[in-house]
Amino acid sequence: MIKLFRKIRQNLLMENKTTKYFKYAIGEILLVVIGILIALSINTWNENRKLRQSEQDILNNLKTELITNKAKLDNVYQQHLTEASDGIRMLRLFNTDISEIPIDTLEKLFLSVETSWTFEPNNGFIKSLIASGKIDHIENVEIKAFISSFEGLVIDAIQEGESFRKLVDERLWPVIDGKLNSSNRVRLNELYADIPPGSYTSDYTWFFSNREMEDVISNLTAWKKDIISDEKKLKANIDEIIVVIDTALKNK
C-alpha cells in the first residue's frame, strides 16, 4: 500500500500536476490521521473493556468477602443477643432466693454474661484493593466510599468490646476469685471441657446479695447492648452496599 502511494506521488510530480499532487497529499494525510484516530479509538475501547472487566471481577470478589463478613457478624451478633438476655435474667436474681436454682444453671448463666465474642473481619481483599490502587477501577462512588471507610466502620462496631473486657478484668474477676469457681464455669465450654472440676463450690448466695456485683453485671449488660447496637448498624451498612454492588453488576 505504501509503495502504491509513493508511485502515485512520483507520477503526479513527473507529469507536473502540482495542484493534483497537493490535493492527493492532503488526502493521504487525512487517511493517515483517520487511521491514527481509528487505532487510538480501538486502543481506548480495548483499555476501557479491560477496566470494566477488572471492575466486574473486583465487585464480585468484594461481594464474596462482604457476604463472608456478614455471616461472621451475624453469628457474633446472635451470640451477643443471648448474652445480653442472660444479663437481664441475672440481674433479676439479685436479692432473691436462689436456693432452688441448680448450681449448673447459675454457672452457665454467669459464663454467658462474662463472655464477649469479638467480630474479626476478613478484609484481606479490601486492604489489597486499597494498597494496589485498583479501587480506582470502580466507577460507583458509593462503593468506593464504603471500601475506604470499612476499617473505620468495623472499629466503631467493636470498640465497645474493649470497655466490656476491661470491666471484666478489673472489676469482676478480682472480686469473685476464691468465691465463684472459675474451673466449674469454663469447663462448660467445649473448648475447655478437659479442665478438671474445681475443688470448691461457687457461692452464688454471696454473689447475688453483693451490691457491687449487681452494679458490675448491670454495666456489663449495658455495654453488651451498646455492642449489639453498633453491630446492628454495621450489618445494615453491609446489607446496603451488597445491594448497591448487585445493582452495579447488573448494569455492566
Q: Which residues contact 17 (CB under 8 A, 6 or more apart)?
A: none
Number of domains the chain contains: 1
Residue 12 has pLDDT above 50, yes or no: no
Residue 35 resides in a domain: no
Residue 242 resides in a domain: yes
**Can you tell me the distance from the alpha carbon of 90 to that of 219, in angstroms, rounded to the nearest whole number?**
12
Residue 4 resides in a domain: no
Average pLDDT, the chain: 88
**Can you tell me the distance from the alpha carbon of 12 to that of 240, in angstroms, rounded to the nearest whole number?**
70
Q: Output the pLDDT for position 225.
A: 95
Looking at the chain, the whole-number percentage of residues with pLDDT higher than 90 is 71
In 3D space, the residue among 179, 237, 228 whose CA is nearest the CA of residue 207 turns out to be 179
pLDDT band with cut points at 50, 70 and 90 for residue 116? confident
Residue 15 resides in a domain: no
Task: Identify how many contiguous H helices and E strands the chain contains and give both numbers.
Answer: 9, 0
129 and 150 in contact (C-beta within 8 Å)? Answer: no
Residue 28 has pLDDT above 60, yes or no: yes
Residue 84 resides in a domain: yes
- ∠ CA 105-110-112 to the nearest 5 degrees? 100
**Can you tell me the distance from the alpha carbon of 116 to that of 185, in angstroms, rounded to the nearest whole number?**
15
Residue 8 has pLDDT above 60, yes or no: no
For 71, phi and psi rounded to 5 degrees? -65, -45
Residue 176 resides in a domain: yes
For residue 150, what are the domain limits?
54-250
Q: What is the pLDDT of residues 215-250, one digit of tens each?
A: 999 999 999 999 999 999 999 999 999 999 999 998
Q: Output the pLDDT for position 138.
A: 93
**Can you tell me the distance from the alpha carbon of 138 to that of 248, in angstroms, rounded to the nearest whole number?**
10
Single-letter code of the amino acid located at 1: M
pTM for the whole structure = 0.80
Residue 40 resides in a domain: no
Sign of CA dihedral 120, 85, 167, 190: negative
Sign of CA dihedral 53, 58, 64, 66: negative
Per-residue CA distances from 91 to 22, 218, 221 (Å): 99, 7, 9
Indicate the DSSP class of residue 192. Answer: G
| Selection from 8-12, 35-39, 90-94, 137-141 with the highest mean pLDDT | 90-94
Residue 169 resides in a domain: yes
